[in-house]
């Protein structure tokens, strides 16, 4: 029964963090962003069934106090993605020697990307009622607001009206790509933070993994190609392709970061190098993530850490585990 009580409590906390968004303040927005963490913590620390209880309780609470559509949105966008990732993180099987093989981190990162893409598409379908034109108009309004903040309508920082319109259209089209990049990073960060919290309380069932050795399966490079092909299509199918491509680009960027952490272990000046890398990422407003994405993709396809390692054995391809 402990999993039931914990799930109810986590669901109510997550629902409260979600509901405060109606205040429309900066603090409310920050609290809203933390809503998946209680579901992650309870799923990792008690049982994945606790996460399902939290999803149901939170959804019912929001449906009762806000609206049924808001409750459904909470379940699909906030609770179920958190529950699913926690479920995968604790998935394992015993080998012939009785040792548990835990779900590989590389495959988990791939699922984080897929979950982010599917969630963004589902949120768009719910918010627009399946009307793609309504989604595009909303994305264009957001893009126009962004461009207006970056470039004034007059003065030395202004843009030609035709160029401004083309830039707004481009950003509007790329909205799913850009959105899932950020969401993939946030989901990965939340899962890592929740696992750290649960591990500190000695409730995490699996031993803490060596995160810097993660490597996504080579098949994800083919999925990226398929996503780019889908992105050339119109409607929500094309949107799914863009969303999945953006999510995978971020996942490969995170793998690129992991590879750099892995290959610099034990090297002199490692702290300075990594600190400088993160400063560059911040100063370039994430543009460096493109280079990291290509490095992570090459690391997956060609096994760069195995070929050009520093003498330490590189990460093996993860075993396939059924889900």
Q: What percentage of the chain reaches a pLDDT higher than 70?
A: 92
Q: What percentage of the chain reaches a pLDDT higher than 90?
A: 53
Arithmetic mean of pLDDT, 91-97: 84
Paired sense of beta strands 100-102 and 92-94, if any: antiparallel
Q: How confident is the model at residue 315 (pLDDT cuts 50, 70, 90)?
A: very low
Q: What is the pLDDT of residues 175-188, one digit of tens each?
A: 999 999 999 999 99
List Cβ<8 Å contacts ≥24 apart for 304-311. 304/259, 305/215, 305/259, 305/262, 305/263, 309/263, 310/263, 310/265, 310/266, 310/267
Q: What is the pLDDT of residues 156-166, one digit of tens each?
A: 666 777 888 88
Q: Which of 213, 208, 185 is nearest to 195 (CA)?
A: 208
CB 34 within 8 A of CB 17: yes
- State the pTM of this model: 0.89
Q: What is the pLDDT of residues 229-273, one digit of tens each?
A: 999 988 899 999 999 999 999 999 999 999 998 888 888 888 899
Tell me how many degrees the CA angle 303-309-314 measures, rounded to the nearest 5.
60
Q: Residue 114 pLDDT > 90, yes or no?
A: yes
pLDDT attached to residue 308: 59
pLDDT attached to residue 127: 85
The residue extents of the domains of the chain are: 1-90
More confident residue, 231 or 313: 231
């Amino acid at each position: 029964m402990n999993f039931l009580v914990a799930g109810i409590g986590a669901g109510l906390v997550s629902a409260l963090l979600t509901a405060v968004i109606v205040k429309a303040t900066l603090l409310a927005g920050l609290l809203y962003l933390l809503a998946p963490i209680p579901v992650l913590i309870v799923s990792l620390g008690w049982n994945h069934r606790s996460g399902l209880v939290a999803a149901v309780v939170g959804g019912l609470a929001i449906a009762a106090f806000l609206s049924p559509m808001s409750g459904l949105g909470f379940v699909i966008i906030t609770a179920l993605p958190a529950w699913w990732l926690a479920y995968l993180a604790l998935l394992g099987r015993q080998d012939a020697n009785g040792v548990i093989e835990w779900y590989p981190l590389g495959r988990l990162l791939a699922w984080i990307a897929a979950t982010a893409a599917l969630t963004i598409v589902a949120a768009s379908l719910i918010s627009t009622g399946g009307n793609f034109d309504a989604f595009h108009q909303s994305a264009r309004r957001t893009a126009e607001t962004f461009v207006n903040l970056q470039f004034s309508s007059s003065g030395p920082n202004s843009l030609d009206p035709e160029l401004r319109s083309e830039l707004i259209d481009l950003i509007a089209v790329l909205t799913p790509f850009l959105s899932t990049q950020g969401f993939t990073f946030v989901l990965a960060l939340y899962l890592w933070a929740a696992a750290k919290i649960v591990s500190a309380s000695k409730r995490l069932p699996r031993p803490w993994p060596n995160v810097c050795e993660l490597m996504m399966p080579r098949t994800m490079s083919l999925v990226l190609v398929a996503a780019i092909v889908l992105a050339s299509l119109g409607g929500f199918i094309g949107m799914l392709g863009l969303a999945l491509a953006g999510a995978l680009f971020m996942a490969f960027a995170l793998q690129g970061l992991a590879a750099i952490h892995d290959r610099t272990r034990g090297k002199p000046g490692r702290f300075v190098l990594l600190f400088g890398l993160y400063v560059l990422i911040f100063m370039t407003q994430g543009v460096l993530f493109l280079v990291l994405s290509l490095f992570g993709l090459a690391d997956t396809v060609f096994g760069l850490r195995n070929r050009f390692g520093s003498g330490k054995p590189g990460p093996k391809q993860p075993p396939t585990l059924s889900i």
